Structure 1
């Protein structure tokens, strides 16, 4: 298991109540397909933005209560079931529009100046998923929403820090520029380490620069604090959803432990969870 925002979406999970499995699938289909428009394939930026604008237009139709997509329109398979889910469960529209805004940003923005800029992106790219789940469970209370935001942002940051090299290959750097500069970590360093990581396995006695370790320790600590601050929500939510969310949070925390153990050398070792980790996670979630 690697921590990835949409791969941690509890689609068709056996822990989901049967009545919510189809609604969750419908929301996931929307989020996953829009994310793929922004990130996958060989489309040019203009074409990606045009398709995302089509998604935004379909959302506006749902908001106005008049979804009208022609037969053969590829959006129809996504938005007709989504419209039914939104109407049946009285879901707010803002999270869906926030997601589109974040996916549009993915097309054009590849650097983040500060924590503030990165957290604003996470507010629209990650937090809407947790908020929608709380609305489905009729648990969208202020404290619950705040702690769900902390969990979702923490998971997304965890994903960023385990995938620095992968994101570099995509032309993106999520590490805030002001923190990189303060720690003396240049983009040239990331580029060179990524290149070396692609060429060969890590040498037996590999030196990880102290500046990189200090930067990543700060970022990992920030993600850990967010996940831990959201843990009380996993105890308040009833039944299986609370337990599943606990597993997801502890999975994120375990990835951060792995990063610590690797001294943040993600260029040669992408931390993932193996079968042996799951017993530990189950024990932590139950305890």
Structure 2
């Protein structure tokens, strides 16, 4: 194996996030394991998404990544290709008894994403899309709850709220990124929802934001409906901020408010994320903090 990360997923890719990652609000003793989990997940996502490698190579790299995860779970972080990922991750697994299953679920989801994109496949329903979110997003929240000392067998309601927040964040990312994902052949608008609004999936097969006419009213209404769904799911999980202690609860408040802020921005631009991708930045910080205080 080569001694460097695959060329289609460089280690120095910059990433915008809608939420803080291991910020100063995070309990200091948890910053290193949270950062290790984040970089593990982000690098795997880059393998699946970034660069120009063919799908077959992406799947092979994800399989190799999975083997290194299995080794890290046994205490061996000496990965040939990703030592900067699996060294810290192996330490976090050993120190905090992190379960391997949610880490593996992420890789399963990324492999599915690669296969769906290769085949130009759409998600049939909201239930199918949520099943993907259960492996692509929810495991991160569950790993954080584990770090906070909570367990699914004794804190089932807390885990359900975490799943709601994580799935909402994933959906928000989908509706935020339509102008980016559609040209790349990545389809997350559920077919059942498209049909309910009279939107034809074929309209998006050769989608290019700068070359398209103004989105049809039916497409805008479809995005509005998806935004409402994501907001309801986020608000369903939001009470979790009162269950986490101290700094962890405050960081989660900002995570929730960051997601809701993106939904507000989508609404402010008329639910047209086919043409423009909204983001949150430093200028939004005072508003997010104010809303976080009053949750």
Common topology (TM > 0.5): yes
State the TM-score, normalized to the length of structure 2.
Answer: 0.85
| Secondary structure class of the residue paired with 2:52 | coil
Per the alignment, residue 173 of structure 2 pairs with 159
Structure 1 window deviating more from structure 2 (180-189 vs 268-277): it is: 268-277
Structure 2 alignment gaps of length 5 or more: 1-14
1:26 shift after superposition: 1.2
Aligned with residue 198 of structure 1, among 191, 201, 210: 210
Q: Deviations over 1:114-157 (max 9, x none)?
A: 11111111000000111111111113321111111100100110
| Secondary structure class of the residue paired with 2:41 | helix
1:54 shift after superposition: 1.0
Distance 1:6 1:212 in 2: 26
Per the alignment, residue 67 of structure 1 pairs with 76
Task: Report if aligned partners of 1:9, 1:28 keep a CA contact under 8 Å in 2.
Answer: no
Q: 1:13 to 1:68 in 2, by over 3 A?
A: closer
Distance 2:164 2:34 in 1: 21
1:199 shift after superposition: 4.4
Q: 1:190 to 1:264 in 2, by over 3 A?
A: farther
Distance 2:93 2:289 in 1: 33
| Secondary structure class of the residue paired with 2:210 | helix
Per the alignment, residue 107 of structure 1 pairs with 114
Distance 1:81 1:254 in 2: 32
Structure 1 alignment gaps of length 5 or more: none
Per the alignment, residue 18 of structure 1 pairs with 28
Task: Report if aligned partners of 2:18, 2:258 keep a CA contact under 8 Å in 1.
Answer: no
- Listed as ranges, the matches of 1:29-40 within 5 Å are 29-40=39-50
State the TM-score, normalized to the length of structure 1.
Answer: 0.88
Aligned: 1:224 with 2:231: yes
Aligned: 1:90 with 2:102: no
- Listed as ranges, the matches of 1:1-287 within 5 Å are 7-8=17-18, 10-63=20-73, 65=74, 67=76, 69=78, 73-110=80-117, 111-140=122-151, 141-190=155-204, 194-195=207-208, 197-199=209-211, 209-287=216-294
Q: 1:62 to 1:142 in 2, by over 3 A?
A: same
- RMSD in angstroms over aligned alpha carbons? 2.2
1:237 shift after superposition: 0.7
Distance 1:97 1:182 in 2: 35
Distance 1:81 1:165 in 2: 35
Q: 1:57 to 1:6 in 2, by over 3 A?
A: farther
Task: Report if aligned partners of 2:77, 2:90 keep a CA contact under 8 Å in 1.
Answer: no
Task: Report if aligned partners of 1:183, 1:215 keep a CA contact under 8 Å in 2.
Answer: yes
1:10 shift after superposition: 4.2
Distance 1:159 1:68 in 2: 31
1:219 shift after superposition: 0.8
Task: Report if aligned partners of 2:197, 2:222 keep a CA contact under 8 Å in 1.
Answer: yes
